[in-house]
Structure 1
């Protein structure tokens, strides 16, 4: 909650110093760069859920920001960001992913590939609400040669539910009587839900790795009927 409040204050300061046009461009640019330019790997908080929710709060607290313009631009930026990531993965392949980041990034890529295999079309939508997956799923989908039109539809739903949905949630949380005081709680629930989904996926992946490792060890053990007798 403290981080969301701080970001809300920062966005208000940005608006007061730059004006509405630059405020729009800043929000849209961060949303786009979060996935298209891998910026979300390094500063997920600044390019993720809290940014959208905070921008909605700012729009509700000032007459300078038009919420319709803000959400339309945010939705388009989110959509285009994932499209760029998908095309980069499709044209440059696995090598493009391997050139980005260190050990932690590579571990996130492996986790994302497993996540993509499990959820397929829905992975693009679900990933919007998971900081690590939001960055890598579009590229992994491109590397995996996901059907372009299937990706297009899942990306559109994800951009609407995440980019438009979270921004409107922040806006209405601050404007509906009796809800303003609960704005940060609503944001916390959304962000917590993202973390829970990510943790659940991590547990599934961990259990699967243990199962695979046990199966591998079993295959390597010599069969009792074929083990040679010492000295034979």
Structure 2
């Protein structure tokens, strides 16, 4: 079993895969929106690297189906389900107690500015924000809460939630699995030997939109929405 050596491990998706495998990955995906503390966890890179290890993880959890495609599909579906449940919990929390978050003091796990950024993102993109937010670190943690606070229709939220989770999960998990096979077959390169570089590229690529918004976007703090 993998052991914790340094704080760098917390940002390394491979650490979580080797530490707890399939079940820990599902919990992390759920926690990112369901427990509101996962914005610092490696979401997109975790899915991509999970795709590389999909056969190993499914084999360990259930036993392999004998098909790479089915194993990868099962992993992607499981991750999508965890993401959907997490968002539904976030939405419910927003409906019940969300406005109190605007009065909550900042701590290590919670930053009020992220809630404001998510609110602005939701206000700009509306229903599409639920789908788009899946691909944006930090924003995806708080958008479901904002959707609950502003009283987004439950049915509409659920449909957007399912679609966003499926697109996010299948695109990244399958990209990781089949790019790894492509590089091995065509170039003799095992992506597992270059995970640090891959993780760095994914983190830069996925956080650029958020960083651009923080640096160049407007920083007005919207008024706290009224509880529906």
Q: TM-score, normalised by structure 1?
A: 0.71
Q: What is the CA distance between 1:160 and its match in structure 2?
A: 1.0
Q: What is the CA distance between 1:194 and its match in structure 2?
A: 2.2
State the number of aligned residues: 197
Alpha carbons of 1:62 and 1:120: their partners in 2 closer, same or farther (altered >3 Å)?
A: closer
Is the contact between residue 173 and residue 182 of structure 1 (CA under 8 Å) also seen in structure 2? no
> Which residue of structure 2 lines up, in the alignment, with residue 24 of structure 1?
22
Q: Please, which runs of 5 or more residues in structure 1 have no aligned partner? A: 15-21, 213-232
Q: What is the CA distance between 1:27 and its match in structure 2?
A: 1.2
Is the contact between residue 40 and residue 131 of structure 1 (CA under 8 Å) also seen in structure 2? no
Residue 164 of structure 1 aligns to a residue whose secondary structure is helix
Is 177-186 or 154-163 further displaced after alignment?
177-186
Q: What is the CA distance between 1:61 and its match in structure 2?
A: 6.3
One of 38, 50, 70 as aligned partner of 1:40: 38
Relative to its length, the structure with more helix (as a share) is 1
Is the contact between residue 104 and residue 112 of structure 2 (CA under 8 Å) also seen in structure 1? no
Is 157-166 or 92-101 further displaced after alignment?
92-101
The reply on whether 1:140 has 2:146 as its aligned counterpart is: yes
Is the contact between residue 174 and residue 180 of structure 1 (CA under 8 Å) also seen in structure 2? no
Distance 1:197 1:78 in 2: 21
Residue 39 of structure 1 aligns to a residue whose secondary structure is coil
Distance 1:51 1:74 in 2: 11
> Which residue of structure 2 lines up, in the alignment, with residue 168 of structure 1?
174
Q: TM-score, normalised by structure 2?
A: 0.72
Q: What is the CA distance between 1:23 and its match in structure 2?
A: 2.5
The reply on whether 1:178 has 2:186 as its aligned counterpart is: yes
> Which residue of structure 2 lines up, in the alignment, with residue 113 of structure 1?
119
Distance 2:37 2:11 in 1: 22
